[in-house]
Amino acid sequence: MEIVDAIDLYNQYLLVEKGLSINTVESYLDDLKRFFMFFPDKKDTNDLSPYDLASFLEHQIKIGRRASSALRRLSSIRGFYTFLKRDGYYDGDIPEVDPPKKEKTLPNCLSVEEVDLLLSAPNMNSPSGIRDKAMLELMYASGLRVSELLSLEKKNVILNKGIIKVFGKGAKERKVPMGDFAEEYVVKYINEVRDLFNGKHSKYLFLNRSGKPISRIYFFKQIRKYASEVGITTPISPHTLRHCFATHMLEGGAELRAVQEMLGHTNIATTQIYTHISTKRIISAYDLFMNKK
């Protein structure tokens, strides 16, 4: 069968049998287009070889394609081979290729000054501003995951000891200190604001106006809004504050093992990524200082 006809059949299969969206199918077909641009002599399904994919992958990496993009293209093309094999248009082996390792991307991290600006952004004259202030302060002071912050129950905030009980991945419990600033604003929120949100009967600490837990989408939008208001241009998300907590703790001389425990990482290697960020920031500051001399 001619490649053009095979791609047309594959298109129908993706749309009708698999029920994929038009945009997804177009993405798959674009991957195939690039594959056959690399092999312009392949006009018929009989011309296909199980070794083609390895050559194509090598080319993708050579031209600087990111591993994640190359992996997506490999998946699309391998799916095409599998479809042809199933329907009897290709009698070779399904290509098996060792995938490239995905790049490790370091998370964005704000400076201490930028974090201070972000934490000062909420309007303390409004109930929602007081609540958001408490949430931001607590997340930064305790290094919480956004899911841990939003699911935090009021009973697990132990104000007389300044700690919170957090249930992280795998429902593993850990106790984390709040810090004086975070505790001050959490107390203010509980005493002055929380009941205004119909929160008397809710077990969750942070609530919206309907008395329900804050959603991830809302918190994400609020952080982006506050960052914009204070002139922070670095792309950030709620998780950025957790990254900042870890980085700033290590820059301040905290032991790696202690930061690991506070973050709730099972493997210390996960925490070690922040040592690379800290080193990079310190070197950058040193270079800047030397260039100004």
Q: With contact defined as beta carbons under 8 Å apart, do 46 and 71 qualify?
A: no
Classified as helix, coil or strand, 167 is strand
Active site residue 185: no
Of the candidates 65, 78, 145, 174, the residue annotated as catalytic is 145
Of the candidates 78, 174, 265, 281, the residue annotated as catalytic is 265
Active site residue 133: no
Active site residue 212: no
CA distance 54 to 62: 12
Of the candidates 73, 133, 242, 248, the residue annotated as catalytic is 242
Active site residue 169: yes
Active site residue 204: no
CA atoms within 13 A on the CB side of 257: 0
CA distance 85 to 83: 5
| 133 exposure class (CB count in 10 Å sphere: 0-12, 13-18, 19+) | buried
Nearest partner of 189 among 199, 202, 179, judged by Cα:
199
CA distance 156 to 195: 18
Of the candidates 161, 169, 257, 280, the residue annotated as catalytic is 169
Beta sheet of 157-158, edge-to-edge order: 157-158, 163-167, 173-177
Q: With contact defined as beta carbons under 8 Å apart, do 201 and 153 qualify?
A: no
Active site residue 239: yes
Catalytic residues: 145, 169, 239, 242, 265, 274
